Structure 1
Amino acid sequence: MPLTDAKIRNLKTPETEKKISDGHGLYLLLKPAGGRLWRVAYRFGGKQKALALGQYPHVSLAEARQKRDAAKDLLAKGVDPSQQVKVDKAMAALASGNIFDVIADEFLAKVTRDGLAETTLMKKRWLLDLARPDLGRRPITAITASEILVALRKVEAQGNYETARRLRATIGQVFRYAIATARADNDPTFGLRGALTTPKVTHRVAITDWQRLAGLVRTIWEYEGALETRAALKLMALLYPRPGELRQANWEEFELDKGVWTIPATRTKMRKEHRKPLPVAAVDILRDLYKLTGTRDLAFPSISAPARPISENTLNAALRRMGFTKEEMTSHGFRATASTLLNESGKWNPDAIEAELGHVGADEVRRAYHRATYWEERVAMAAWWNSEILNLMR
């Protein structure tokens, strides 16, 4: 028997779910909690399905019948009504700018304005491009954890476990941006933390004992390559910055008379300006280099393309020519070398060492404490390290 509004109003709430038919596939699903939900039962592609039409009385009996008839018309045309609903939602989201692609682009524009390093931006663009084929046209609020996992599994299937881990984190950043801009309510990547294969941790290679470091230092100071490369390697040994911080340095960053190098926030990993004390040997090296490149902005211009800095590969290739394999030493390894030996010396506060390395935690108070308290100790530490490095050549 077809339903009437009077019949629906008189229906009692069941103890378990109950279906009340109206005919032609339309029925009212009664929930124990009191909900009354319209559904249309149909078959498509040999499978039994149900299409949700809304809740009574927000959707009246007459409206439910109209929606049922519209669904039947789609079926007659060979279209799955449930799939059409998803398409309609996606089109509405596209029109309102709420699909993943649009929000991801907005997120990238924001972090660009925030001054994120170009190298980091390139990585984020590349990672999001991996996700776009699966998530790009989907409404941000409709994307489920299982959909994201499909995109992540494709990366994992190629053996790229670390890339999959970073992709999950970057997708999560897009969702949190959507939450912050009132276009999403949750971040489905949070529940996927334990779903991915944990990549094997490989520590950066570095020389971490004084005897082997002595051999490296003597070889660097005797190296006969380009002056820019020789100077950069010597300064890596003396100052142990991140290779990119040194390679891309401009002369305006150096105050040689004061013995200070100020690395701008745009080039530091923590996106905070980082000041480093320059010991005597470092100042001497920079003064000699200035005679060659001081007419340019870049302190370490590439020989083949002076408008660009020397590459990290230039430094690593020089180490290879000196006889140090990639399993023994890299340009980034100077940081691990200094960190290990400075800590082992027992002469310096570990927090001062971390501050000098530019390792800054999330605690803003602690960060300010590092800057304010450890500068004098870092100056003394730089002078001590300067003497130890030069003593290795004797």
Structure 2
Amino acid sequence: MLTDARLRKLKGKPVEKRYELSDANGLSVRITPAGMIVFQFRYQFNGKPRRMTLGQYDEVSLKEAREAVVSAKKILGTGKDPIIAREMQLDKQRSSPTVEACIKSWLESAPARRLVKHDHWERALNRHVVSQVGSMIVEDMEVKHWEPVFARMRENGAETFAGEILSRMKTIFSYCIRTGMIRFNPVSELRVVDVGKRVRTGKRVFNDKEIGAFWSAVESSTITEQNKLLLKLLLLTACRGVEMRLARKKEFDLDEKIWYVPESSSKTREPFERGLSNEAVQLLKKAFALYPDFQQVFPPAAKKEDRPMAAGVLLNLAAQLRDDLDIPHWSIHDLRRTAKTKMSELGILPHISEKVLGHKLAGVLAVYDQHAYIKEQQEAAERLANHIQSCVGSVSP
């Protein structure tokens, strides 16, 4: 029988030629001329001799080598070759997708590519998930492995976004199950309330005084001219922030006062036409003139490159204006909600204001009424623009 004391004496001592020492149950060690000690398990499978390497003595202890032999003999007792069984297990581990691999697969999928906020989710997932657990094997994970991911977000005050990340990861793992990458969803048992807070549907609407205050604050702020135009246009057109951020000059017919929003910028992934007011057309002309050689309407203000500005710019603009505005708890999306509400107050029919917003009509209207209502949209946008200007010109319009 081998002992640790004997192996320690032999380890690293050069010898003239390779030789072997036996232990028990088929375990032995092979000692090389350089003094390297390697554990091996000798056995027969289908009548043929086999030798399974278990590892070097400095990496595997004598006790661990004996335990490995016991495990190998159990596999042998089931009629399987321990060497082949180990290779299959290692191959399975090598081919088992990591969290990062699942995220990459989903980001390259057709459903993800259709998302308007694809770049946003790619950055968010890499920052909050891949950096923490990206290298972990999905099918080896337990719920406890995800707690640090969401705990870090909560500590940074992003409780609501933690819930959004959880929902997105459920979508990603469900996609990977459907495509055969993995067999189970490691976060399926978690709920949003377990990791953060639910997203609350916004109801904030500016009153007339706040509309005037917002417009005046934009005028007097120190933000760049293009960002001033951007913020005003968000209110005048009732568009989504991403639609204006990604807008290209070729989408606009300023003479006809029409904005042809492409499917790539549309949340519904269907193109639509938006009627514009005269005020919006004038502001767009000013924006076009800022970068006459660019195709992008609102490129990055600092770098002056012909590409869309970053998604975070809109959030930063709102943060800058909050210090100058006595309007509590407002966000950029409140401008869109305000425009919709004011159009209703002005007596504009709901299906017209829905067209201005780029929403799909409900029920059978969505199937049978394919009219764009451009003239009616333009009239609605004009009435909204006039009301905004009245708010700007009067404390109590």
- TM (norm. structure 2) is 0.62
Contact 1:247–1:309 (CA under 8 A) maintained in structure 2? yes
The alpha-carbon deviation at position 337 of structure 1 amounts to: 1.8
Cα RMSD for the two superposed structures: 4.3
The alpha-carbon deviation at position 212 of structure 1 amounts to: 2.3
Residues 80-106 of structure 1 deviation map (CA, whole Å, 9 limit, x = unaligned) = 959x99997763334445554433322
Counterpart in the other structure of 1:333: 334
Give the secondary-structure state (helix, strand or coil) at the position aligned to 1:215.
helix
Contact 1:312–1:331 (CA under 8 A) maintained in structure 2? yes
Contact 1:161–1:199 (CA under 8 A) maintained in structure 2? yes
Separation in 1 of the partners of 2:152 and 2:376?
49
Q: 1:295 to 1:393 in 2, by over 3 A?
A: same
Q: 1:295 to 1:156 in 2, by over 3 A?
A: same
Counterpart in the other structure of 1:110: 109
Separation in 2 of the partners of 1:87 and 1:173?
33
- Among 204, 209, 227, which residue is 2:225 paired with? 227
Counterpart in the other structure of 1:348: 349
Give the secondary-structure state (helix, strand or coil) at the position aligned to 1:261.
strand
The alpha-carbon deviation at position 282 of structure 1 amounts to: 0.8
Separation in 2 of the partners of 1:368 and 1:74?
74
Separation in 2 of the partners of 1:190 and 1:374?
45
Q: 1:344 to 1:267 in 2, by over 3 A?
A: same
Counterpart in the other structure of 1:92: 91
The alpha-carbon deviation at position 260 of structure 1 amounts to: 1.4
Contact 1:247–1:300 (CA under 8 A) maintained in structure 2? yes
Counterpart in the other structure of 1:383: 382
State the AA in 2 paired with 1:259: K
- Structure 1: 5+ residue stretches without partners: 1-61, 63-69
- Among 270, 273, 290, which residue is 2:271 paired with? 273
Percent sequence identity over aligned pairs:
19
The alpha-carbon deviation at position 114 of structure 1 amounts to: 2.4
Separation in 2 of the partners of 1:167 and 1:274?
30
Contact 1:112–1:121 (CA under 8 A) maintained in structure 2? no
Contact 1:214–1:393 (CA under 8 A) maintained in structure 2? yes
Q: 1:74 to 1:315 in 2, by over 3 A?
A: same
- TM (norm. structure 1) is 0.63
Counterpart in the other structure of 1:316: 318
Contact 2:205–2:334 (CA under 8 A) maintained in structure 1? yes
Residues 155-186 of structure 1 deviation map (CA, whole Å, 9 limit, x = unaligned) = 23652533432333233223222232234455
* Correspondence 1:39-188 to 2 at 5 A: 76-77=65-66, 91-96=90-95, 98-110=97-109, 114-116=113-115, 117-129=118-130, 132-133=133-134, 136-138=135-137, 140=138, 142-143=139-140, 147-152=142-147, 154-156=149-151, 159=154, 160-187=158-185
Counterpart in the other structure of 2:16: none
**2:215 aligned with 1:217, yes or no?**
yes
- Structure 2: 5+ residue stretches without partners: 1-45, 47-53, 55-61, 76-81
Separation in 2 of the partners of 1:342 and 1:87?
69
